Chains A and B, each alone.
Chain A
Amino acid sequence: MIECFEKQNIKRSVAAGLILLIASFFVAVGVAEISFPESLLTFTDQEWLMDIWPKAYRYNIHVGVGACALCGLLIIPAYKLQKDFSIRALETLCRIGIGGMFIFASIFKIQDPHQFATLVAQYQFFSALHLDFVNNFFALVYPQFELWFGLAMILSPFVKESAFAIFWMFVSFIIALAWALWNDLGITCGCFELEGAQDKAEAWTSLIRDIILIWPTFWLATRKNKSLIGIWKK
């Protein structure tokens, strides 16, 4: 039996588990607030809140970053309560969360390569490097990387390799979004849905989301290769 499930540690493990569940809820709210303004978990988009405070929707990024910060703070007591359980649980949650996010993000891009290629072209990054001809091929291959490395993160024991690849994908997203903002391109991120040139504010929120999510990915890239079940074995 692993240390965290031994008789003397079980109460502490349950308490740590509950705290981590609340932390997971906060990070889900944070990602929803930052990336999905009309989702079920987006509090700033609730009608009852809009009735009381019509400008609430403007503060989605603040609420999102606040929820992520709260999640970070909740990890500390969970870790202090039961270190062994918390690390195993965090690795499981991070793998499912980040891997799942990449799988979800890849699906619409794989279904419509033309739209995604158009979206990539809006960044004007390849044209600045005189590599225009790469745009379409990049738009074809990149979503496949997202899907298969996301799946590998969840289903395979190769967490180090998949997290390493996803880490560099996050780096590329950060560079692309920073580039778009620096050049005032006024484009949306295009991470989860296909939009045209619409909204500069969304590029900011996506940049913040990626800067937050790159840290747990970096942590995963330093973990030992184990399957999700293997994490919970001695």
Chain B
Amino acid sequence: MKKFFQKSLQISLAYLKTLNWYVLLGIAVFCIILAIVNNIRVSDEKSVDWIGTQDVMEKPADIL
């Protein structure tokens, strides 16, 4: 079992090394910038506070 986990960990780490992290992080940063721009772009009723949450709705009685 221990060998199996060690082997799995090795394979996972070797796989992670093959990924182009510049591309992954680049797209992630680009997405965060666009998310900020989008929140400014949309109308007031559709935009949200940067930090915070929304109300939880009441569960309908006739739920399946």
A interface residue numbers (CB < 8 A to B): 110-115, 117-118, 120-122, 124, 126-127, 132-133, 135-137, 139-141, 143-145, 147-149, 152, 158, 160-162, 164-165, 185-186, 196-201, 222, 225
A113 x B60 contact (CB < 8 A): no
New A-B pairs, 13, CB < 8 Å, besides A126-B53, A140-B48: A110-B38, A114-B46, A114-B48, A141-B35, A144-B34, A144-B38, A147-B31, A149-B27, A161-B19, A185-B59, A186-B60, A197-B60, A222-B15
User: Given A117-B48, A158-B20, A161-B24, is A140 in contact with B53 using a C-beta cutoff of 8 Å?
Assistant: no
* Distance, CA A111 to CA B63, complexed state (A): 28
The A contact surface, by secondary structure, is: helix
With an 8 Å Cβ cutoff, the count of chain B residues facing the other chain is 35
* Distance, CA A161 to CA B22, complexed state (A): 10
A160 x B32 contact (CB < 8 A): no
B42 contacts the other chain (CB 8 A): yes
B10 contacts the other chain (CB 8 A): no
CB distance from B62 to the nearest CB of A (A): 10
B8 contacts the other chain (CB 8 A): no
Partner of B64 from the list A115, A149, A199 (CB cut-off 8 Å) is: A199
B46 x A115 contact (CB < 8 A): yes
